[in-house]
């Protein structure tokens, strides 16, 4: 997600200082004029607004803790999915350094990042909104959710729980139909013309599952992390998560069965193995 978002900022004429632990990820951006920082802390010292797109809450914490006081940085904007408690921790950690922690997680996948059609869920103090929205609009549509740190993260967790649930339950339904003798492609066409349509039937199944490519661009590790974060946050607030807990269990099994780095669309393989059938289109 970070690479196409950074590319869009360059397309829009912004000056970038970039850092990644993987040198290969930086090369396309450096070739287009971005400056290379030696560390996240160095990047933070040279810019007023730092945008981070990172895989786990712990890494976000580590990057925030590495940032020193006295530099140019004024806005720390987390585009990752880390959960509201981490967003509040980061904001509290940075505030004494004169830096405002803002959460702005995004949804829409790699293709959305490339096209600039992401949903950006911004939570920041009102006095920072005007400065940040023009930058974030490069990525897609910005939704301002309020001043309190963590509101954007809560919205993102709710969104991703729905996406994960649609993926899991659609896989169950299609595997059931395939076992009964239905053509999975016809099933998806029928569902998309009826009341059962959802993001999985409209996008992920036609693009990655029916062709058996399993290359949507989002890993089982990340989806399990997002669902786990959502269920844990709900439990901390005293909100029941019966369906969410079941989705978390299915993804935990898929993660262990197929590996953390495999595409999250491989969840259907878990159900196919149990059912003894492959949900392949006929002909």
Q: How far is CA 92 from the centre of its chain?
A: 23
Pairing status of strand 118-123 against strand 106-107: antiparallel
Angle at 39 between CA 37 and CA 44, to 5 degrees: 75
156 is catalytic: yes
Return the bridge partners of 140, or none: 118
Collapsing DSSP to helix, strand or coil, 144 comes out as strand
Q: Which of 115, 156, 204, 228 is catalytic?
A: 156
3-class state of residue 82 by DSSP: coil
Dihedral over alpha carbons 89, 95, 99, 105 (to 10 degrees) = 30
Give the CA count within 13 Å in the CB-facing half-sphere of 159: 17
Residues forming the active site:
156
């Amino acid at each position: 997600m970070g690479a196409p978002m950074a590319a869009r900022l360059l397309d829009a004429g912004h000056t970038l200082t970039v850092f990644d632990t993987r040198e290969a990820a930086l090369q396309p951006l450096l070739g287009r004029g971005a400056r290379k920082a030696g560390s996240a802390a160095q990047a933070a010292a040279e810019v007023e607004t730092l945008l981070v797109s990172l895989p786990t809450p712990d890494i976000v914490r580590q990057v925030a803790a590495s940032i020193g006081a006295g530099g140019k940085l004024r806005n720390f904007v987390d585009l990752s999915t880390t959960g509201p408690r981490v967003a509040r921790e980061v904001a509290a950690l940075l505030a004494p350094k004169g830096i405002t922690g803002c959460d702005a997680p995004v949804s829409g996948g790699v293709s959305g990042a490339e096209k600039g059609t992401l949903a950006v869920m911004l939570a920041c103090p009102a006095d920072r909104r005007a400065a940040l929205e023009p930058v974030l609009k490069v990525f897609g549509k910005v939704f301002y959710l309020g001043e309190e740190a963590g509101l954007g993260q809560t919205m993102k967790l709710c969104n991703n729980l729905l996406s994960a649930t649609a993926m899991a339950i659609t896989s169950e339904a299609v595997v059931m139909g395939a076992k009964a003798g239905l053509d999975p492609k016809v099933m998806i066409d029928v569902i998309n013309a009826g009341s059962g349509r959802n993001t999985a039937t409209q996008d992920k199944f036609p693009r990655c599952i029916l062709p058996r490519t399993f290359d949507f661009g989002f890993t089982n590790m990340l989806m399990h992390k997002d669902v786990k974060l959502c269920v844990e946050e709900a439990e901390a607030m005293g909100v029941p998560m019966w369906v969410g807990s079941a989705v978390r269990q299915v993804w935990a099994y898929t993660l262990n069965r197929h590996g953390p780095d495999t595409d999250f669309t491989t969840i259907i393989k878990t159900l196919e193995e149990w059912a003894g059938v492959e949900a392949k289109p006929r002909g």
